[in-house]
Structure 1
Amino acid sequence: MVKLSEKIKQTPQLKKTVLHLMMHPVKTRPRFWLRCLQFLYMKKGKKSVIYRSVRRDIVPFNIFIMGDHSVIEDYSIINNAVGDIVIGNYTRIGLGNTVIGPVTIGDKVNIAQNVVISGLNHKFEDIDKPIAEQGVCTKQVTIENNVWIGANSIVLSGIQIGKHVVVGAGSVVTRDVPPYSVVVGNPAKVVKQYNFQTKQWDKVIE
């Protein structure tokens, strides 16, 4: 027997109707009645905190999971309407961050202020049609464990950031970042890499 959610996804008109009931077409966020029920479908670990001023555009048809001892600080925006959001343990989402799924963030990740992490892009290829009417596409963003992302940085869709990476403040990450490295700039480039033989951070010379 096909699950109700699968039946809805497979029936375009039914999907459109259900989506309209859940999402405000102009505000493009969950309707008030649905936001009142978020406590039923948001999965939040023990001692984790989401501050009251956080805009929670969280819907039940995609996953939102937040691990133990993690924090989402004031004035951030968390949106899983177009893709799952999974946040690990002991991770801090800083002031004024924007996280739009599909995004997976590992354990012990520190994200500073005003960082944008988005798995979403707008389609634009048809020049005879307004961009706003062409829909969106998504690609998974993955941030592995023990990463530090500096203030005012941007992580674009489809990016994977490896373990123990430092992203310098103001960086725009447009390609995958290898583990144990430091990246800075727009577009972000690797400037240091950890050397396991010498146990030092070596400068990378292009």
Structure 2
Amino acid sequence: MYAIGRRVEQTPELLTALIQNAIKQSPSSFNSQSSRAVILFNQQHEKFWQLVKEKLRSYAVDEVAATKTNTRIESFKAGFATVLFFENVDVVKHLQDQFPLYADNFPIWSEHSTAIAQFATWTALHTEGLGGSLQHYNPIVDDQVHTEWEIPASWKLRAQFVFGSIEAPATEKTYIEDQVRFKVFK
């Protein structure tokens, strides 16, 4: 859902509890609980998207590209709030040290953990009638995010989920053929 707004009936406190519970209940390999989140409401939400906008401005190759980018970022800024998803790399390193046989897999499994936490959050907010979209403006804003919100260095930014009231239906999605994507054996 890209057309989102601020006509949200739920309080930030209720939404915070919902998001925290969704992430807490999300499974992780070895019960690592490596997922972390920063929830930004109001001016903090706007500040994040302003940081993204300013950073992207330095990458714009021409005025047309800059205008398109600004429009997109303003649509995110129009949302109600943003969840910044992180993975704690110290947890991953600890597991690598503790279980050397699986060391190469822990970074991969960490990505699985954050994906499940993101999906659980998305689903929980959807059940409340809210829409949103998952964005990936990391690593270009990592330094600013860590500085602005005093995020521990061990937290690695993985995604940003902007959400709010649904202001227009989602655009139709196309799919590849099932026989290309799936194999079923009976």
TM-score range, shorter chain: under 0.3
Say which structure is richer in strand: 1
Q: TM-score, normalised by structure 2?
A: 0.22
More RCO (CA 8 Å, sep 6+): 2
**Higher share in helix:** 2
TM-score (norm 1): 0.20
